[in-house]
Structure 1
Amino acid sequence: MSNIPDILGRDMTAFIKDTHDLATAIRTRRKRLKMTQAYLASMMGVSRQLIGELEKGMPGVNVGLALDVCRELGLKLGYEDASDDQTA
């Protein structure tokens, strides 16, 4: 599993800048929990293919599903206003 980019902190908070980061965070967390895509899909009531698409960051995947999967995996997503990062 060392080839998986580690974007998750110890508290499982992921800093998400785009769909690729979200997909990576979900895949990394699922693998840390030693869960297969098929098992996660059965827990969520969706197909394994849909979980695969979510983990690839494919456009068109339901945002609600992505948030539900994050919640099920224990990922905490937060919001930070970019205007808070003021540079002079």
Structure 2
Amino acid sequence: MSNIPDIFDTDMTTLIKDTYDLATAIRTRRKQLKMTQTYLASMMGVSRQLIGELEKGTPGVNVGLALDVCRELGLKLGYEDISDDQTA
């Protein structure tokens, strides 16, 4: 588990609808923590280019890596069953 403190003062929830939304959340959180892509990549044991691809929302980036990065950045992911939602 990461030792990065939670810097949000309020409970903020963002709906992730696609890879672009996930990429935006990861990039935003990394910048809030004042981390470079290079630093995050070294923490994760991957290349800076791979973090860049993840932050662009490039299809095909390893989902395991995306989840690991979210965990390291202190992003909590969840899901909501929308099967009864009339807007789906």
| TM above 0.5 | yes
| Count of matched residue pairs | 80
Distance 1:49 1:9, change over 3 A: farther
Contact residue 22 and residue 57 of structure 1 kept, 8 A: yes
What stretches of structure 1 move > 6 A for 4+ residues in a row? none
Partner of residue 73, structure 1: 73
Partner of residue 23, structure 1: 23
Shift of the alpha carbon at 1:15? Answer: 1.7
Are 2:26 and 1:10 equivalent residues in the alignment? Answer: no
Q: Which string of whole-angstrom CA distances, capped at 9 and with x for unpartnered residues, describes residues 24-44 of structure 1?
A: 000000000000000000000
Gap regions ≥5 residues in structure 2? 1-7
Shift of the alpha carbon at 1:82? Answer: 1.2
Gap regions ≥5 residues in structure 1? 1-7
| Identity across the alignment (%) | 88
Of structures 1 and 2, the one with the larger relative CO (CA 8 A, separation 6+) is 2
Shift of the alpha carbon at 1:9? Answer: 9.1
TM-score, length of structure 1 as denominator length:
0.82
Tell me, in whole angstroms, the C-alpha distance in 2 between the residues paired with 1:44 and 1:11: 26
Q: CA RMSD in A?
A: 2.0
Partner of residue 52, structure 2: 52
